[in-house]
Amino acid sequence: MNRQRLCPIVLLALLCLAALAGCSLLGATHLNWHELWQSEIFWHLRLPRELLSLLVGGVLAACGTAYQAVFRNPLTDPYLLGVSSGASLGAAIAILLGLESYIYGVGLCALASALLTVAIIYRMASTGNRLHTTTLLLTGVCLTLLISAAVSFLMVMNHDKMDRIIFWTMGSFASSNWTDIVVMTPVTLIGLSILLYHGRNLNLLLSGSDTARSMGVEVERVQKTILAITSVMVAFAVSVCGVIGFVGLIVPHAVRLVAGADNRKILPLAVLSGGLFMLLCDTLARTLFQPSELPVGSLTALLGAPLFITLLYRNRKQY
Amino acid sequence: MLALQNLSHTYGSKTVLSHLSTTLEAGGFYAVMGMNGCGKTTLLRCCAGLLQPTEGQVLLHNRPLSDYPARKQAQHMAYLGQQPPADFEFTAYDLVMMARNPYQRPLQGATQKDRTIVEQALRKTHTWHLRHALPKEMSGGEQRRVMLARTLAQQTPLMLLDEPLANLDLSHQFEIMELLRDINLHEGKTILMALHHIEIARRYCPQLILLHEGRILFQGNTLEGLSPARIHTVFGINATLEANGTLTLSPNKRN
């Protein structure tokens, strides 16, 4: 990797580290540098939470980048194939059944339900070995709407637990712990390695499936691999922190505006930018209105939208 | 090199190609001609493995094309389709560099050899000055030449070109044809190209595959194949062959 490509990656990585350290000092209990290393709050609450937000932000941004290349559509986001609605349904059922008191009761239900939903959508959009991406998109959108309706129905029928379901669907890192990190780290590392391995294939897929195939890409195999791995990554992310919108849709575009179209360049930058953005949003979510917390999903949109519109406005000639 | 065996293709109930059988010899320069909708693109796409024929098969070096992994196939044949380049922000240089994919390992960057080949391809198609330009900053003809550069940079023994002269001005049409003839004669590449220009086909392409209503009406020497009678049958226009070999075309008068 040449220096020109490595520089922004190193710079962003350093920024992430600096943000990680800086954000650790903030919160209901203010810590200073000397207290930080001995503080239980830092080791057991803030550090796992911050690391998880970095991981989830990175995963969502990377998956959004990959989806936009596979579908050749700038409007696709990682929740397109029903992961968010599937997970929400699983979480709602778990909350209604009172599984919140069990460790990972809600998370496991959300993960299982998300993966099941994606599997159903894949099955419906496949004939033999062929995957029809348009059918996949439309099935994803329809099933998402159907499941969202079912979740709304469950909430209306169970008023007393509505606020907990709503809070879960808007995403939060409040209950993060080291086990979440242990679960998310291998998923993130394996998933990102596979996506980076396919970086050049993603570029070729952007040129159209005919061009990609005639230049040596096994188009359907690559599409299936990428969609399967990203679905698993996003399902895991949703299971640990709920549905956090906007990051997977906008961060890849913001990076593309600055770094060009090459997915081999964009992927690492999107991972770091997505992680950094999520970390900053979560820090604001937990510190702005102490002691209560904002749902981080609403902050990602509130902060991300103006930021992205500014970028878009400054680069409007290119877009 | 490439053989079509009893090849048929249908879209829904419409049969576009019907039981075609032919062989392309290595080193040949073939023009595929016929009216719009006669199956030229379908034929090229079947040859490139982008369409699965409804019936029959395509053999590459006596092996079914479907047996070739995409990467291996891409080292044997390059395909230039009709679609414009990607909307995303790739420069001409990046687009042409993509053609080196079949020779690169997944995480490997471009080698010096790749860069030399890409530069040569861009220079041959007179698009080196456009190397930093995005497709949306180019004219249709410039985009076409960049796409042709990409096909050249793939460095395959067989090139399948679907209307490579589309959108090109007259001067560039001749330049590209001179280039293709040069590649065919001196590098021994086999070329199969769909085109509409009878004069250009007569001048540059020694072999002709004339398609009519989904079948091969003629295959052989281009000058022989593009006779006034066949031109009238296929294109519905009048042609007169002068004693000096010049072909004069004139439209049918419509009532």
State the DSSP string of B46-89.
HHTTSS--SEEEEEETTEEGGGS-HHHHHHHEEEE-SSPPPSSS
Residue A118 has pLDDT above 70, yes or no: yes
How many Å apart are CA A147 and CA A89, to the nearest integer?
A: 7
Collect all residues of chain B within an 8 Å Cβ-Cβ radius of residue A255: none
pLDDT band at A45 (very low <50, low <70, confident <90, very high): confident
CB B16 within 8 A of CB B10: yes
CB contact under 8 A, B70 and A318: no
Question: How far, in Å, CA of A54 to CA of A45, rounded?
Answer: 15
Query: How many separate domains does chain A show?
Result: 1
Per-residue pLDDT at A3 exceeds 90 = no
The CA-based angle B52-A202-B130, given to 5 degrees, is 100
B245 conformational bin, left if phi > 0, alpha if psi -120 to 50, beta if neither: left
Q: Are B55 and B48 in contact (CB under 8 A)?
A: no
**A5 contacts on B by Cβ (under 8 Å):** none
* Range A250-253 contact pairs with CB under 8 angstroms and sequence separation of 24 or more: A250/A304, A250/A305, A250/A308, A251/A57, A251/A60, A251/A61, A251/A64, A251/A277, A251/A304, A252/A61, A252/A64, A252/A65, A252/A68, A253/A68, A253/A74, A253/A308, A253/A312
CATH of the domain at A47: 1.10.3470.10
State how far the Cα of A81 lies from the Cα of A137, in Å rounded to an integer: 7
The Cα B193–Cα B209 span in angstroms is: 10
Contact call for B75 and A216, based on CB within 8 A: yes
The Cβ of residue B79 has, within 10 Å, a number of other Cβ atoms equal to: 26
Q: Would you tell me which residues 18-47 of chain A have a C-beta closer than 8 angstroms to some C-beta of chain B?
A: none
pLDDT recorded at residue A1? 59
What pLDDT, on the 0 to 100 scale, is given for residue B242? 82
Q: Judge whether residue A316 has pLDDT over 70.
A: no
User: Chain A closest CA to B185's CA: distance in Å?
Assistant: 24
Terminal C-alpha separation, chain B: 47
Say yes or no for a CB contact (<8 Å) between B106 and A200: yes
- Is residue A28 very low, low, confident or very high in pLDDT (cuts 50, 70, 90)? confident
pLDDT tier, A317 (very low <50, low <70, confident <90, very high otherwise): low
Token couple for B199: 């004069």
What local confidence, expressed as pLDDT, does residue B255 receive? 45
Torsion of CA A250, A256, A259, A261, to 10 degrees: 160
Q: Which stretch of A156-170, A266-280, B94-108 has the lowest confidence by average pLDDT?
A: A156-170
Predicted local distance difference test score (pLDDT) of residue B87: 64
Lowest mean pLDDT among A23-37, A204-218, B109-123, B209-223: A23-37
Q: Which helix (H) or strand (E) holds A46?
A: none
The list of chain B residues with pLDDT below 70 reads 87, 253-255
The arithmetic mean of pLDDT across residues A34-62, rounded, is: 89
- Residue B110, token pair as written in the block: 């471009």
The answer on pLDDT for A124 being more than 50 is: yes
Q: What is the mean pLDDT of chain A?
A: 86
Q: What would the pLDDT profile of B105-143 be if each residue is shown by its tens digit?
A: 888 889 999 999 999 999 999 999 999 999 988 988 899
Minimum-distance CB partner of B99 among A213, A215, A217? A215
Whether A261 and B90 lie within 8 Å, measured CB to CB: yes
Please give the DSSP secondary-structure letter assigned to residue B11: E
Q: Give the structural domain span for A23.
A: 3-318
Selecting from B50, B89, B106 the residue whose C-beta is nearest the C-beta of A261 gives B89
CA separation for the pair A77, A253 (Å, rounded): 11
Question: Can you give the pLDDT at residue A163?
Answer: 80
Position with higher pLDDT, A102 vs A98: A98
For chain A, what percent of residues have pLDDT higher than 70?
96
pLDDT digits (tens, 9 = 90+) for A222-265: 988 998 899 889 888 888 888 888 899 889 988 988 888 899 99
Alpha-carbon gap, residue B35 to B40, rounded angstroms: 9
Q: How far is A216 from chain B (nearest CA, A)?
A: 4
How would you classify the pairing of strands B158-162 and B190-194? Answer: parallel
Q: Assign residue A51 a region (left: φ > 0; alpha: ψ between -120 and 50; beta: otherwise).
A: alpha
Give pLDDT tens digits for A165-195: 887 778 888 888 898 899 899 999 999 999 9
